[in-house]
Amino acid sequence: MRDRLLIAAIFAVTASTVFWVALVHTVHSGTLTVPDLRGKTLDEARQTAHDRGLAVDVDDQGVFSPQVPSGSVALQEPPAGFHVKGGAHVRVRLSLGSERVKVPNLHDESISNAARLLQDLGLEPGRQAQVADQADADSVLASSPPEGTEVAPATTVDLLSNTTPRQPLWVAPSFLGHPLAEVRTFCRSHRFRLGQVHGTAYPGVASGVVLRQYPAAGSPLSRSDIIALWVSQ
């Protein structure tokens, strides 16, 4: 009885193996194995596929791939090793090479805006060099690499920025001999800063007339400068 069971088990295993081999042979009979086309130029890929009785179709949309040279096959469908019928088409996507990003125009942007623009493009804000009084605002003057340069993603971009806004300068007018009220009106309308007014006794001159000023007439004058006056009492 035990021998019969052993023989029956051996027969079942053998039958299963024979059935599986026959099934695989049936499924793969008349099929071709898709070759690995990745890394090949388009001409090489077409020749390799042709030699196997297959054809190659190129997807219009390429794909960025730092590992595969630009113009060579980066992806394929069906994949290598897949079994297909003779004459089947293998669809490929060609490499566009490493992805490139253009450094944007950051001139006149604030440092915070420049950093945001770089990060939105996948670039990294780098070191910051600073100068003063070179622009009218706290803003970016230049970048390294410069605007328009094509770089790889995550490239660090260094920035040169202006810290203290440049102030326009005027020539200080002469207030000497003018009434204080007139000088106050002039400073207010031109947004100049009038500071201390010192009273000075000066016989023979009417009260409230400018006798002396600082900065002196003809000196550079900015809106941040404070004008001091000495007037007659």
Band (pLDDT 50/70/90 cuts) for residue 167 is: confident
How many Cα atoms occupy the beta-carbon half-sphere of 70 within 13 Å? 5
Calculate the average pLDDT of the chain: 88
pLDDT digits (tens, 9 = 90+) for 61-115: 899 998 999 999 999 999 999 999 999 999 999 999 888 999 999 999 999 999 9
Domain boundary among 94, 109, 132: 94
Whether 128 and 149 map to the same domain: the answer is: yes
Whether 197 and 147 map to the same domain: the answer is: no
Band (pLDDT 50/70/90 cuts) for residue 177 is: very high
Whether 117 and 149 map to the same domain: the answer is: yes
pLDDT digits (tens, 9 = 90+) for 93-102: 999 988 899 9
Whether 58 and 105 map to the same domain: the answer is: no
Whether 158 and 131 map to the same domain: the answer is: yes
Band (pLDDT 50/70/90 cuts) for residue 9 is: low
Domain boundary among 72, 94, 116: 94
Whether 26 and 66 map to the same domain: the answer is: yes
pLDDT of residue 23: 37
- Lowest-confidence segment of 3-12, 35-44, 60-69, 92-101 by average pLDDT: 3-12
pLDDT of residue 223: 87
Dist. CA 63–CA 57, nearest whole Å: 15
Domain that holds residue 107: 101-162
Whether 151 and 179 map to the same domain: the answer is: no
Number of domains in the chain: 3
Domain boundary among 43, 61, 94: 94
How do strand 73-77 and strand 89-94 relate by DSSP bridges?
A: antiparallel
Whether 184 and 217 map to the same domain: the answer is: yes
Mean pLDDT of 126-145: 90
Whether 18 and 40 map to the same domain: the answer is: yes
**Any idea what the Cα angle at residue 148 is, between residues 146 and 149, rounded to 5°?**
65
Whether 20 and 82 map to the same domain: the answer is: yes
- Percent of the chain predicted with pLDDT > 90: 75
Whether 111 and 90 map to the same domain: the answer is: no
Q: Is the pTM of this model over 0.85?
A: no
Instruction: Specify the CATH number for the domain of residue 213.
Output: 3.30.10.20
Whether 9 and 52 map to the same domain: the answer is: yes
Band (pLDDT 50/70/90 cuts) for residue 135 is: confident
